[in-house]
Amino acid sequence: MLERIIGAVMMLSAVLTLTMLAPGFPPAEAGRAFFEMLAADGVAPLLFEHWRIVIGASAGLLIAGALHLKLRAPALILSGLSKLGFIALVLRYGEMGSLGPVVAVDAVMAALFALFLIASLRRR
C-alpha cells in the first residue's frame, strides 16, 4: 500500500513542480512577471533558463521514480534535497512573504519524501 501511495505523491509532486515551467512561455515576459529584480539583471535570462532545466529534470526524475521502483530512492533524494535547498534560500533571503505558499508545498513534499525513505529503510 505504501508503494502505491508514494507513487501517487511523487506524481502529484512532479505535476506541481512542472507548473513552474508554465510561466516560461514566452521566457522574457515570464522573467519580468515572476522575477522583476532578475529581469533587470544581465544574467536573468541565463539563470531563468537554467532554473527551468533543473525543475524539469527534477520533475522528470520524480515521474520516472514513480513508475520504476529502482529509480524511486534516487528521485526522492534528489528532489527532496533540491526542495530543501530552495527553502533554505528563501529563508536566507527573507522572501517568505511572496514565496510562502511555494515553500509550504515544497516542505510538505520534502517531508513526505523523507518519511517514505526512512520507512523503506526500516522495511529492509
Containing structural domain, residue 43: 2-123
Q: What is the pLDDT of residues 6-29, one digit of tens each?
A: 889 999 999 888 877 766 566 556
Run of H or E residues at 28: helix 27-34
| Cα angle 82, 21, 39; round to 5 | 90
Nearest-angstrom CA–CA distance, 34 and 51: 13
pLDDT digits (tens, 9 = 90+) for 23-42: 656 655 655 565 666 556 56
Number of domains present in the structure of the chain: 1
Q: Strands, DSSP E only, in the chain?
A: none
